[in-house]
Amino acid sequence: MKALVLEERGKLSLRDFPVSMQVGPNDVRIGIHTVGVCGSDVHYFTHGKIGPFVVDEPMILGHEASGYILEAGSAVTHLKAGDRVCMEPGIPDPTSRASKLGIYNVDPAVRFWATPPIQGCLIPEVVHPAAYSYKLPENVSFAEGAIIEPFAIGMQSAVRARIQPGDIAAVSGSGTIGIMVALAALAGGCAKVIVADMAQPKLDIIAAYEGIEVVNIADTKLASAVAQATDNWGADVVFECSGAASAILDLPQIVCPGGTIVLVGMPVDPVPVDIVGLQAREARVETVFRYANIYDRAINLIASGKVDLKPLISATFAFEDSIAAFERAAEQRPSDIKLQIQVAK
């Protein structure tokens, strides 16, 4: 089978690649339909590594996927051939201490698609555990199915925030993840979400959603916008999605007394935090690492129409044009939120 292979930093091929297709009793064999291009895929392409994860051997890219069941293992009961599905890209050891606790996302044994040395899913077929494959309702498209993975990070952030109905939230950073977080926060009970960035094209895209207010921080500080919107009380929840040192330092000025901060953005190095400022408001700070037990609820929200992710799909490429898709992604056009590759015809 042909796969999109990162041979080494900067070099992609669409070529035959041998992959085992052995279906265990709890596995399903899936025909891949659509795969989204993630910033991490692009980073491996342009840099050859992410932190300690180095591409030493050719690796198939892609981890945001939807598809359809070709074959179900003998012990699989909730899926059958023909079902449309989307897949969690990380496979934990289900009996590890973390998995037993329900936080399988932080199981050190997780094997995650397109994270060296694990192969990704930009290939026509994969074998995957049925337990991490989720049936798509009829009214959820393959394109939506493939964008659930990044949305799941937004959802995990919203879950960990423990939003209360009618909360006012602030989001610093309107990159793809910031947008996903804002939409999850809104769907998750916030009355209003104030999104801040300096990239106006991205702000324009998220501003089209009802309940979102945007702030261009070239003009206005997020803290000022929040103070005005909340009668100087502060935001109930602040989602930090920029990873920027200045945004992180400002957090105590944005959150309300007793409020919550969710750290989603990942600054490469340690950054200064105003601990005394956080203490003065007795803020709670949550951190987010991927997601666990999120796909069901993300699908529920898309199926019910409460969350519409379709406007975030900026362009769709044929599988043959996968390399062009990555080249465009590497351009980082300001109005591109999500590029997808359609693997199946």
In whole angstroms, the minimum distance from the beta carbon of 301 to a second copy comes to 5
Q: For a second copy, which stretch binds (CB under 8 A), given 35-43, 97-105, 314-322, 336-344?
A: 97-105
d(CA 14, CA 290): 28
Q: Which is nearer to a second copy, 15 or 100 (CB)?
A: 100
In whole angstroms, the minimum distance from the beta carbon of 9 to a second copy comes to 22
The single residue among 2, 43, 111, 162 that binds a second copy, judged by CB under 8 A, is: 162
In whole angstroms, the minimum distance from the beta carbon of 244 to a second copy comes to 11
Work out whether 139 is an interface residue with a second copy (CB under 8 A): no
The site that binds a second copy (CB under 8 A) totals a number of residues, namely 81
d(CA 51, CA 44): 10
The phi and psi torsions of 93 (rounded to 5 degrees) equal -80, 110
Work out whether 128 is an interface residue with a second copy (CB under 8 A): no
Q: Which is nearer to a second copy, 117 or 258 (CB)?
A: 258
Per-residue tokens: 151:
């949305």
Among positive and negative, which fits the CA dihedral 311, 315, 319, 322? negative
For 284-342, the DSSP string reads: EEEE--S-SS-HHHHHHHHHTTS---GGGEEEEEEGGGHHHHHHHHHHT-TT--EEEEE
In whole angstroms, the minimum distance from the beta carbon of 38 to a second copy comes to 17
The single residue among 59, 168, 170, 238 that binds a second copy, judged by CB under 8 A, is: 168
The single residue among 20, 74, 108, 345 that binds a second copy, judged by CB under 8 A, is: 108
Q: Which is nearer to a second copy, 124 or 150 (CB)?
A: 150
In whole angstroms, the minimum distance from the beta carbon of 223 to a second copy comes to 16
Q: For a second copy, which stretch binds (CB under 8 A), given 7-15, 105-113, 195-203, 314-322?
A: 105-113
The single residue among 14, 19, 70, 98 that binds a second copy, judged by CB under 8 A, is: 98
Q: Which is nearer to a second copy, 17 or 209 (CB)?
A: 209
In whole angstroms, the minimum distance from the beta carbon of 10 to a second copy comes to 25
In whole angstroms, the minimum distance from the beta carbon of 253 to a second copy comes to 13
Work out whether 335 is an interface residue with a second copy (CB under 8 A): no
The single residue among 89, 124, 178, 188 that binds a second copy, judged by CB under 8 A, is: 188
Under rule CB under 8 A, which residues in 34-93 are in contact with a second copy? 78
Q: CA geometry: angle at 77 spanning 118 and 70, to 5°?
A: 55
The phi and psi torsions of 83 (rounded to 5 degrees) equal -65, 140
Q: Is 205 helix (H, G, I), strand (E, B) or coil?
A: helix
Rounded to the nearest 10°, the torsion over CA 65, 71, 73, 78 is 70
> Counting Cβ atoms within 10 Å, is residue 274 exposed (0-12), middle (13-18) or buried (19+)?
middle
Q: Which is nearer to a second copy, 302 or 312 (CB)?
A: 302
Closest CA to 90 of 76, 111, 59, 119: 111
Under rule CB under 8 A, which residues in 252-311 are in contact with a second copy? 257-258, 263, 266-276, 278-289, 292-293, 296-301, 303-306
Q: Which is nearer to a second copy, 48 or 189 (CB)?
A: 189
Binding characters for a second copy, 196-215, by CB under 8 A (x = yes): --------------xx----
Report the phi/psi class of residue 133: left, alpha or beta, with left for phi > 0 and alpha for psi in -120 to 50: beta
DSSP E strands: which ranges in 9-109? Answer: 11-16, 27-36, 49-50, 53-54, 59-60, 64-72, 84-87, 90-91
In whole angstroms, the minimum distance from the beta carbon of 168 to a second copy comes to 6
> Counting Cβ atoms within 10 Å, is residue 237 exposed (0-12), middle (13-18) or buried (19+)?
buried
Residue written as tokens 């892609």?
62
d(CA 147, CA 78): 22
In whole angstroms, the minimum distance from the beta carbon of 256 to a second copy comes to 9
d(CA 214, CA 204): 8
